[in-house]
Amino acid sequence: MISLQDTFDHPLPGWIDEIKAAARGKIVNAPFARACRQGDSAAMQGLVVGLWPFVDEFPRSIIRFATRLPKLSLFGDRALLNALLHRGPTILSGIQKDEENHRKLWLEAGQALGLSVPEDFRRPGLHETQTWLDAINAEADPSTILFRFAAVEIIAETVSVDFLRSEVFRNVLGEKGCAWFRVHAEHGPGMSHEELELRLAFAFLKGEPTKEFTNSVIQQIVDLSVAAENACAGLTHEILVTRSLP
């Protein structure tokens, strides 16, 4: 009989790295990422404000899913599923608490860029940001939802590692303003949020995991995120210009 511990201890498929590499390529080569590496303060302000509805809502997306787990019609080994239903919400609740703290760090990044809290963060959200959020919250089976959550973690880690390599970016935000990016770039001991979500996603899958299905879910979220980030940075048409703080 497969135990929960066996499921978590089983290595993730090797092709996960290929999926992540493709996702990273899309992100680091996007106009918004180039603008951030160049220290474009206006683009960075637009990102922080424009993506706030997503950052604000994401912890609630996680906890809503966690509270739904016991009500979902599941399949497979009953002992394994009972263990997952007991452990899954606890794991996701812990992730949700971390994301709540990340919300505060995001606001601090905004303040480092000269934005006012909460006034500047009350602006209406962009369509692209809401489309990304709607995709995260869309009804689906547990595995799909967990793959979506993992995609968000891949995105956060990628931008954080990429941006922090830029001295110009670090100088614009300063030590305190970089905190959100540091916590997503530097993982402590134990499993990362991404790995926990991937392992849960594979545990809930019916049948063997396939690269095609996993890739389609993750890349959809990555593509929507890049569209939102370009729009928020004012770079939808890939026009990079020198701008100053308003």
Give tens-digit pLDDT for 144-185: 999 999 999 999 999 999 999 999 999 999 999 999 999 899
Q: How far apart are CA 182 and CA 4, in angstroms?
A: 31
80-106 burial string, b = 16+ CB within 10 Å, else e? bbebbeebbbebbeebbeebeebbebb
Q: How far apart are CA 5 and CA 84, in angstroms?
A: 10
Contacts of residue 193, defined as CB under 8 A and 6 or more positions apart, other chains included, come to 95, 98, 149, 150, 153
Distances (CA, A) of 195 to 8, 49, 91, 129, 158: 9, 28, 12, 25, 15
Question: pLDDT exceeding 70 applies to what percent of the chain?
Answer: 77
Q: Can you give the residue ranges of every domain in the chain?
A: 14-232
245 phi/psi in degrees, rounded to 5:
-60, 140
Question: How much is the average pLDDT of 179-195?
Answer: 82
Q: What CATH number does the domain located at 14-232 have?
A: 1.20.910.10
Q: Please, which pLDDT band fits residue 11 given cuts at 50, 70 and 90?
A: confident
Q: How far apart are CA 33 and CA 40, in angstroms?
A: 10
**pLDDT of 95 above 80:** no
**pLDDT of 85 above 70:** no
Task: Give the residue with greater pLDDT, 228 vs 63.
Answer: 228
Amino acid letter, 102: H
Q: Please, which pLDDT band fits residue 68 given cuts at 50, 70 and 90?
A: confident
Model-level pTM? Answer: 0.84
CA atoms within 13 A on the CB side of 213: 16
Question: How much is the average pLDDT of 216-230?
Answer: 98
Question: How much is the average pLDDT of 113-126?
Answer: 91
Which region, left, alpha or beta, applies to residue 114 given φ > 0 means left and ψ of -120 to 50 means alpha?
Answer: left
Q: In this structure, are residues 1 and 77 in contact, taking their beta carbons and an 8 Å threshold?
A: yes
What are 228's two structure tokens? 């939102």
Q: Please, which pLDDT band fits residue 244 given cuts at 50, 70 and 90?
A: very low
Question: How much is the average pLDDT of 234-241?
Answer: 52
**pLDDT of 90 above 90:** no
What mean pLDDT is reported for the chain? Answer: 83
